[in-house]
Amino acid sequence: MIAAVREFANRFLGRGDATITVPSFDGALKPNQKLESAETLLTCKEPEDLATDGSNLFIADGQRLMSLSGGTATQVRSFERPISALCALPDGSLAVALGGREVSLYASPSAEQPSVTFADPAFNAINALALADDSTLIATDGSATCGVDDWARDLLELNRSGRVYRLDPANKTVTRLTQGLGYAFGACAHGNAMLVSESWRHRLVLVTPGASPRVVLAHLPVYPSRLTKASGGGYWLTAFTARTQLVEFVLREPGYRRRMMAEIDPAYWVAPRLRSGMSFKEPMQGAHIKTMGVIKPWAPPRSYGLVIRLDADGQPLYSLHSRVDGVNHGIVAAIEMGDDLVLIAKGPGRVLKLPLTGLAEEFRP
């Protein structure tokens, strides 16, 4: 009863979950254009995720598994369905999620047949894989109703059906650790627990078996996604796009959302995107985006590029941006390899490389 009264009051007063305000990029998230200076290693049609065994970089590009070594990209193999997530294991094996519906473990990237396949009927949108400290795999499943590529619909439908699973290759078992998340998209080991990105609630939560998720980092101005460990402790957190007041407003208008999804091409919905500025039909245009034909870097972003360096406690240290007037938008994966940070900018279809040397000092407060 109390919760219902609080929800009604919040909606009437426009506060709490009913607010349409968006936190500003400030402090450790102060905007810059660092991602625009990154080197382009490879251009792909459908880049999705990254993994490395220390010497080779593996790239999920649609149905193709690519390997990048010594500046040369080669196709390792192809699958019948698009790859939705990758994870390299210390023993040289590779975990591959296909179409969000199953996860297969291969003894080597070129192995013909998987050693273990997890195809639980509940799997629907497996979008990230991570290795836990006990050598099991953690899989985030974004939505129980929308496919792995239909995330914009999941946002507009206000779904909260994301799950986190533990996959045990030794026992070939699947265990659901938690459910009811607002699009689980990315995980990373944190002691005996897992840090998990909850995109639609704009936060990171700590998932511990047998306990409710605990909020670690909240009120982000972006939609967080995949996580990887950083050298020296801490994590890299990607954000596939930024929030806007327009989208926040639309999320609170059920009648408008229903008509929009029923009558308008999904490419032109009022929803976040991985790239923008490609069509005059896009909903966000005009003087608030451009002045005399020039895109304003501080304009409301329909697409954006961002990766955040977190400390060991999951708090932001600094961030790397591609602002509205940049092109390296839709950062969905970031992983350290040697002295470089390698990233996927899914918007333009690029695999990027940024030197780590001096990066922390450059953004030291």
Cβ partners under 8 Å of residue 365, min gap 6: none
Domain boundaries, the chain: 2-362
Q: Which fold has domain 2-362?
A: Neuraminidase (2.120.10)
pTM of the model: 0.91
Q: Is 257 helix (H, G, I), strand (E, B) or coil?
A: helix
DSSP assignment of 334-365, as one string? EEEETTEEEEEETTTTEEEEEE-TTHHHHT--
Alpha-carbon gap, residue 302 to 307, rounded angstroms:
17
Q: What are phi and psi of 74, to 5 degrees?
A: -135, 150
DSSP assignment of 151-174, as one string? HHHHHHTT---EEEEEEETTTTEE
Alpha-carbon gap, residue 109 to 96, rounded angstroms:
9
Q: What are phi and psi of 220, to 5 degrees?
A: -75, 145
Alpha-carbon gap, residue 199 to 162, rounded angstroms:
10
Query: What tokens were used for 159?
Result: 């779904």
Cβ partners under 8 Å of residue 116, min gap 6: 104, 105, 169, 172
Q: What is the pLDDT of residue 16?
A: 58
Q: How far is CA 65 from CA 47, 97, 129, in A?
A: 10, 11, 16
Edge-to-edge strand ranges of the sheet holding 173-181:
126-131, 137-141, 162-168, 173-181
Alpha-carbon gap, residue 278 to 122, rounded angstroms:
36
Q: Is 89 helix (H, G, I), strand (E, B) or coil?
A: coil
Alpha-carbon gap, residue 75 to 313, rounded angstroms:
38
Contact 25/304 with Cβ under 8 angstroms?
Answer: no
Alpha-carbon gap, residue 278 to 282, rounded angstroms:
8
Query: What tokens were used for 18?
Result: 């009913």
From first to last of its 365 residues, the chain has per-residue pLDDT tens of 555 555 555 554 555 565 778 888 899 999 999 999 999 999 999 999 999 988 889 999 999 999 988 778 899 999 999 999 999 998 899 999 999 999 999 999 988 899 999 999 999 999 999 999 888 999 999 999 999 999 999 999 999 999 999 999 989 999 999 999 999 999 999 988 999 999 999 999 999 988 889 999 999 999 999 999 999 899 999 999 999 888 999 999 999 999 999 999 999 999 999 988 777 777 765 546 666 666 667 677 888 999 999 999 999 999 999 998 899 999 999 999 989 999 999 999 999 999 998 787 787 66
CB-count burial class (<10 Å; 0-12, 13-18, 19+) for 63: middle
